[in-house]
Amino acid sequence: MSSIRRSLPLLVCLLLGCVLLALYAPGGALRRDEPPPQQAGRSPYDLAGSIEDAQNRLRGHPDDAAAWAGLGFLYLEQARRTADGAYHAKARGAFERSMRLPTGDGEPYIDAVIGMGALANAGHDFAGAVRWAERAREAAPYRWPLYGVLIDAHLELGQYQQAESTLRHMLDGRPDFASFTRAARLERVHGRPGPARELLHRACEIAGDPAEYAFCQGQLGDLAWHTGDPRAALTAYAEALAADPGHVPSQAGRARAQAALGHVHQARRGYASLVARAPSFVVEYGELLEHLGDRAGARRQYAVFTAQHKLLAAAGNADHLAMGTYEADHGDPDTAVRHLRAEWKRRQSIEVADALGWALHRAGRHAEAATYAARAERLGGHHALFAYHRGEIEQALGHTASARAHLTRALSLNPHFSPAGAARARELLAATA
């Protein structure tokens, strides 16, 4: 059924194309020395079709550095939409091929260099992404997309100052979808949901295709969620999914918000169909099941996570943040600390500081945990979950007043931040009242 639903846009597009063809085909106008036109009647937003066109183009012009770079970006976008890592390898191949080909100025084709940076970000090699983007900046400081790569990498690395100054430069040079969405992210990191919302609304207005529109509506949904408004979040996710039914983060957000609003069956259904496509949400799903008392169901989801991450680690792409976070809550806290210390060496971001603090707390090292939790907050982590973590840590240290303050803050930021966490925060507050 779902495959039919997915193919529907294509079928409609096919049909539309036929109609247009019937109406406008001049007939017999194809020139003999031309390759047959590849593109009649296709939606301009058809990613798979665009990939095919690029491949066709490259069959005739294998030395076209620009077409190889373009193909690399199409693969990258396909990887983003399908969560299929095989496309990363294809993207890398295309970018590398592009960079080997001669260009007018004797330097590697600039978009391929930027593409390598984007690819590094996608593979969590954020330091590598900075190197590629800096290389691109040296060669072509006016090629604005490179700054998007650079800002993303700085933010993941916890280099918020650099991210901010780069962003200012980008906004001064090219105010567009890429710079507005990143500015919104920085505003959110610094606990300024109002400006973040305004920027996202502007980004939505200038979105260039359904995927871009879904992305910024999804971001608006996340923003509403994190400010404790699951209803507004649900509206935004619905808007995102109307544009792009396959937008995974919005599917997850919708299920999360439904659970918060008590629509448990809808939420379970949503998660169940979501994790079949995007295994990265299995832990969250498992936590909901566990909260609902379905321990066996939860264990099954956790097993999927463990298997998935064993594969990733074996392929050399260990996601220490995800693994550490999982181990801290559902596995072995000492293992969690090991993962997260490794991650902390690579990057000192708010997310990693919080996760490491939490893992240390779970492993019984509350004092050390407190320094990381405080650091996450100092860096600007206006996040209910982080506040809750800090409250628990303070509680473990016997700082009841401080614990209460953090727990209260967590619940006021977002009373639904996690099914189990929010309940536990309320219990703690009641117990220490």
Which residues, numbered 215-234, are part of the site for another protein (CB under 8 A)? 215
DSSP one-letter string for 366-416: HHHHHHHHHHHHHHT---HHHHHHHHHHHHHTT-HHHHHHHHHHHHHH-TT
**Nearest CB to another protein, comparing residues 89 and 367:** 89
**Nearest CB to another protein, comparing residues 331 and 415:** 331
**Nearest CB to another protein, comparing residues 65 and 328:** 65
Q: Which long-range contacts (CB under 8 A, 24 or more apart) does 146-154 make?
A: 146/113, 146/114, 146/117, 147/178, 147/179, 148/178, 148/179, 148/182, 149/114, 149/117, 149/118, 149/121, 150/117, 151/182, 152/121, 152/126, 152/182, 153/117, 153/120, 153/121, 153/126, 153/127, 153/129, 154/130
User: Residue 281, Cα to own-chain centre: how many angstroms?
Assistant: 12
Residue 55 binding another protein, by CB under 8 A: no
Residue 300 binding another protein, by CB under 8 A: no
| Interacting positions 111-170 with another protein (CB under 8 A) | 111, 114-115, 118, 121-124, 139-140, 142-145, 148, 152, 155-156, 164, 167-168
Stretch that binds another protein, among 49-57, 257-265, 287-295, 384-392 (CB under 8 A): 49-57
**Nearest CB to another protein, comparing residues 77 and 368:** 77
d(CA 78, CA 47): 7
| Interacting positions 1-20 with another protein (CB under 8 A) | 2-3, 6-14, 16-17, 19-20
**Nearest CB to another protein, comparing residues 233 and 407:** 233
Question: Which uninterrupted H or E stretch holds 340?
Answer: helix 333-346
User: In angstroms, what is the minimal distance from the CB of 238 to another protein?
Assistant: 10
Residue 284 binding another protein, by CB under 8 A: no
8 Å CB contact between 218 and 253:
yes
Q: Which two tokens stand for residue 17?
A: 């194309």
**Nearest CB to another protein, comparing residues 8 and 303:** 8
**Nearest CB to another protein, comparing residues 171 and 429:** 171
Give the one residue of 93, 128, 162, 209 binding another protein; rule: CB under 8 A: 209
> What is the pattern of x (binds another protein, CB under 8 A) and - over residues 57-76?
x---x--xxxx-xxx-xx-x
Query: For 87-115, b where at least 16 C-beta lie within 10 A, e where not — what string?
Result: bbebbbebbbbbbebeeeeeebbbbbbbb
User: In angstroms, what is the minimal distance from the CB of 427 to another protein?
Assistant: 28
Give the one residue of 93, 128, 195, 228 binding another protein; rule: CB under 8 A: 195
| Interacting positions 74-113 with another protein (CB under 8 A) | 74, 76-77, 79-80, 82-86, 88-89, 103-105, 110-111
Give the one residue of 296, 315, 431, 433 binding another protein; rule: CB under 8 A: 315
Residue 176 binding another protein, by CB under 8 A: yes
Residue 415 binding another protein, by CB under 8 A: no
Residue 316 binding another protein, by CB under 8 A: no
> What is the pattern of x (binds another protein, CB under 8 A) and - over residues 352-381?
------------------------------
d(CA 415, CA 316): 38
User: In angstroms, what is the minimal distance from the CB of 19 to another protein?
Assistant: 5
DSSP one-letter string for 156-171: HHT-HHHHHHHHHHHH
User: In angstroms, what is the minimal distance from the CB of 52 to another protein?
Assistant: 6
Residue 303 binding another protein, by CB under 8 A: no
8 Å CB contact between 68 and 94:
yes
Closest among 39, 110, 116 to 73, alpha carbons compared: 116
First vs last C-alpha separation in the chain: 53
| Interacting positions 229-268 with another protein (CB under 8 A) | 239, 242-245, 249
d(CA 189, CA 185): 6
d(CA 168, CA 180): 11
**Nearest CB to another protein, comparing residues 79 and 422:** 79
Total of chain residues touching another protein, rule CB under 8 A = 146
**Nearest CB to another protein, comparing residues 21 and 367:** 21
Residue 276 binding another protein, by CB under 8 A: yes
| Interacting positions 318-357 with another protein (CB under 8 A) | 319, 321-322, 325, 351
**Nearest CB to another protein, comparing residues 120 and 373:** 120
Residues 331, 337, 338, 342: is their CA dihedral positive or negative?
positive
